[in-house]
Structure 1
Amino acid sequence: MANKEIDQAVKGLSNLTVTPPFPSLPPPSISSTIYRGLRIPSSWEEAADSIAYDSCTCPPPIVFICGPGNCGKSIFSRILLDTLFKRQLYKRVGYLDTDVGQPEFNTPGCVSLHIIDKETPDLTVLCLKTPEKYLYFGDVCAKANAKDYVFYIFNLYNYFSKKFYKFEDLTESDKPHVPLIVNTSGWIKGFGLDVLVDILRYISPTHVVKVECSEASKNLPGGAFWLFGGQKSNAEIIEICAAQKNTHSISSKKDARTMRDLRFLAYFRQCLPKDLEIPSYAELRRHLASITPFEIFLSKINVTYLHCQDSTKMTSHSLIDRIVGLAISSSIPSSALVSTPWCVGLGIVRSIDIERDTIYLVTPIPLHIVKKVDVLIQGSIEIPYCLGAGHT
């Protein structure tokens, strides 16, 4: 990422409104019809309206959005989210984000469930929200461990279904009445298609929105491709054209890593006072380095190494300068398909003192939660390059 771009982005982070406990990312200077370098088709609003009108009956809709990468799935999910609120049928909407590389409301490397209670109508604003529940996957590509990736999604859907989506007695005022939007990644070819099929069969959505680009070879198979031959789908299939790339947009020239770094910068920016002036990434790095880190006992921490890392070859120092998931061992999903506990936050391991049995950790989560953390989850995610000690 160019120094000028980082400086502008980080400067913007110092003056943002916080959506507790996450701050928003800086809005790009683009028109209301362009988002992340893509032009939004007007037909998308019609598709979102049709789903909202269908949602007048019980149970609430479960909408599964899929298609190739960079076609606008996340944008459509935001439009649909706000449309469901505008219909004033729901006070809350569930949002299951399965894209570990380019999530909509969370930091990369996580699979998360959000329960959103208000509109976010400005599509030019990228914002991070507090997840209802999430699991730290530790990589920005689902291919790193497709089996656990699928099980993570199943766990989150099970949690949502049990707590917010009950088929019996839905008319009772004391029962949850929450629709769900499932946003997916663009990994839809080869084994990625098998993964998508597994998720679709497990969730069994009421609506499947297939975003299709002009190049047919990049699209998903036709019809209810996730069912066995002869089976009929109970889901309504809605096909929409992909958003068009705006070649003149600055945001279209930024690669995926840029957006990931910005999200991590936004997350760790909240370790500092909200009103602190931060004009550049160098200042952000300096201020983060000046923070008094949390101290936790190394001997009380269980380190979980993800994605087939050989724990016998790993040392505690391999944690340094890594973004790690923070978890509490007693907080395992009740329908656990994997043993990974719910994530309570992310941290950066600044250093480790073996003699003092101490890990020095930088994280925005509050002290009373840090005191309960006894699991560090290490994947392959390192701190953004611009925050590295050797970067000048």
Structure 2
Amino acid sequence: MLSLLKLCGVEYGSPMSPLDESSAVVVKSLFIGLTSPSGDPDAYSAASVALAREARVPAQGIPLVVNTHGWFKGMGLDFVTSIAKSVDPTIVVYMERNQNSVGSSEMPEKLVKSLRQDTCTVHRVTSARTAYPDRSGRHLREERIASYFGRESPTYCVPYKSVKTYFIDAEVPESQKFVALNGSLVALCQSDPAEPRPQIWPCSGLGIVRAVSPEDETLFICSPIPAHLLRSVDALVLSRFIQIPTATMQQYGGQMELPYQADDVISLMSATMQGRGGALKRKRLSEP
């Protein structure tokens, strides 16, 4: 998800901390359902350009800061170059994490040529430090999602017929949609009648479908998004690339049953078992 934020004050905290609503206002968010730009280059580029255009309208002298994905090889360099052309920056800060004194890399020539030499100033920061050097992108993403839902997240009862359901890169029969929705992470979006299946979705935030009631066709969705922002939501968008982190469903220091999750598995001795709470269980066979 790509977002355009308006900072109204100083924001303190780690990158995992949720933004304070008093100092940061979400102007617009676009959901593409990907964890990497390489999954759908066109959607990522379209979302970046759309947010850049949105920022130009009410700018009134407010500087625009663009945080790129930091991917400068191959296709990633094409993404950064296209963003630079659409934003037309006046200042570029190129940071590199160089743990060794030998082999420092220069700013890619293709990116340099895409900048306006007469109006753009480039600053290079060498040996930039990161607070999470040993964590992969998946770990950082899971921690951000866990922090996102760590805030107060009330559960809303949503009639199934009041929202549309879309699955990215998947076709789910109508009879199986309740099964697919149950226990899933969804993007709370606004649909466009003129474009029923767009590449990018205007998004208010994320939610977790805690339960479904097929009898009365009701969804129970928990989300930290304020109720007044959810009134415009009329579409639930699911992506198989974005899952609920395990940490979100665990209780530290104890044991608990995780509802709405059950897995039938086959043990090594072909005995059918059932694991609850996402943990696969295997019966220990007695030795002769």
TM-score by structure 1 length?
0.54
The residue aligned with 2:245 is 384
Deviations 1:97-122 (A, max 9, x none): xxxxxxxxxxxxx21111111123x5
The residue aligned with 2:4 is 113
Query: 1:244 & 1:328 partners in 2: Cα distance?
Result: 39
Q: 1:189 aligns with which of 73, 86, 101?
A: 73
The residue aligned with 1:4 is none
Query: 1:383 & 1:219 partners in 2: Cα distance?
Result: 38
Residues 320 and 142 (structure 1 numbering): CA distance in 2 closer, same or farther, change over 3 Å?
farther
Deviations 1:155-178 (A, max 9, x none): 1111110111xxxxxxxxxxx220
The aligned amino acid for 2:243 is E
The aligned amino acid for 2:164 is N
The residue aligned with 1:353 is 213
Kept in 2, the 8 Å contact 1:329–1:341? The answer is yes
Give the match's secondary structure for 1:311: coil
Deviations 1:199-242 (A, max 9, x none): 111111111222235475865423753439xx855311222213
Query: 1:224 & 1:262 partners in 2: Cα distance?
Result: 31
The aligned amino acid for 1:298 is Y
Q: 1:363 aligns with which of 216, 223, 235?
A: 223
Query: 1:143 & 1:313 partners in 2: Cα distance?
Result: 28
Residues 216 and 138 (structure 1 numbering): CA distance in 2 closer, same or farther, change over 3 Å?
farther
Q: 2:146 aligns with which of 254, 259, 265?
A: 265
Task: Quote how far apart the aligned CAs of 1:128 are.
Answer: 2.2
**What are the residue-to-residue correspondences of 1:51-66 with 2, within 5 Å?**
none
Give the match's secondary structure for 2:73: coil
Residues 232 and 254 (structure 1 numbering): CA distance in 2 closer, same or farther, change over 3 Å?
closer
Task: Quote how far apart the aligned CAs of 1:253 are.
Answer: 3.7
Kept in 1, the 8 Å contact 2:149–2:248? The answer is no
- Unpaired segments ≥5 residues, structure 1: 1-109, 165-175, 273-290, 333-337
Deviations 1:268-313 (A, max 9, x none): 12235xxxxxxxxxxxxxxxxxx6x32212223222333xx13356
- Unpaired segments ≥5 residues, structure 2: 20-24, 250-257, 259-276, 280-288
Q: 1:235 aligns with which of 113, 120, 133?
A: 120
Q: Percent identity?
A: 24
Query: 2:189 & 2:235 partners in 1: Cα distance?
Result: 5
Tell me, yes or no, if structure 1 residue 373 matches structure 2 residue 211: no
Tell me, yes or no, if structure 1 residue 344 matches structure 2 residue 204: yes
Q: 2:180 aligns with which of 318, 326, 333?
A: 318
Residues 218 and 376 (structure 1 numbering): CA distance in 2 closer, same or farther, change over 3 Å?
farther
**What are the residue-to-residue correspondences of 1:6-17 with 2, within 5 Å?**
none
Kept in 1, the 8 Å contact 2:157–2:220? The answer is yes
Task: Quote how far apart the aligned CAs of 1:181 are.
Answer: 0.9
Query: 1:358 & 1:144 partners in 2: Cα distance?
Result: 33
Task: Quote how far apart the aligned CAs of 1:325 are.
Answer: 1.0
Kept in 2, the 8 Å contact 1:295–1:360? The answer is yes
The residue aligned with 1:211 is 95
Task: Quote how far apart the aligned CAs of 1:184 are.
Answer: 0.8
Count of matched residue pairs: 239
Deviations 1:59-103 (A, max 9, x none): xxxxxxxxxxxxxxxxxxxxxxxxxxxxxxxxxxxxxxxxxxxxx
Kept in 1, the 8 Å contact 2:32–2:201? The answer is no
Task: Quote how far apart the aligned CAs of 1:123 are.
Answer: 6.3
Kept in 2, the 8 Å contact 1:200–1:226? The answer is no
Tell me, yes or no, if structure 1 residue 177 matches structure 2 residue 52: no
TM-score by structure 2 length?
0.71
Kept in 1, the 8 Å contact 2:187–2:206? The answer is yes
The aligned amino acid for 1:140 is T
The residue aligned with 2:267 is none
Residues 119 and 211 (structure 1 numbering): CA distance in 2 closer, same or farther, change over 3 Å?
same
Deviations 1:11-46 (A, max 9, x none): xxxxxxxxxxxxxxxxxxxxxxxxxxxxxxxxxxxx
Kept in 1, the 8 Å contact 2:164–2:234? The answer is yes
CA RMSD of aligned residues (A): 3.1
Residues 330 and 124 (structure 1 numbering): CA distance in 2 closer, same or farther, change over 3 Å?
closer
Q: 1:135 aligns with which of 14, 17, 30?
A: 30
* Structure showing greater Rg: 2
Residues 211 and 160 (structure 1 numbering): CA distance in 2 closer, same or farther, change over 3 Å?
same
Kept in 2, the 8 Å contact 1:197–1:226? The answer is no
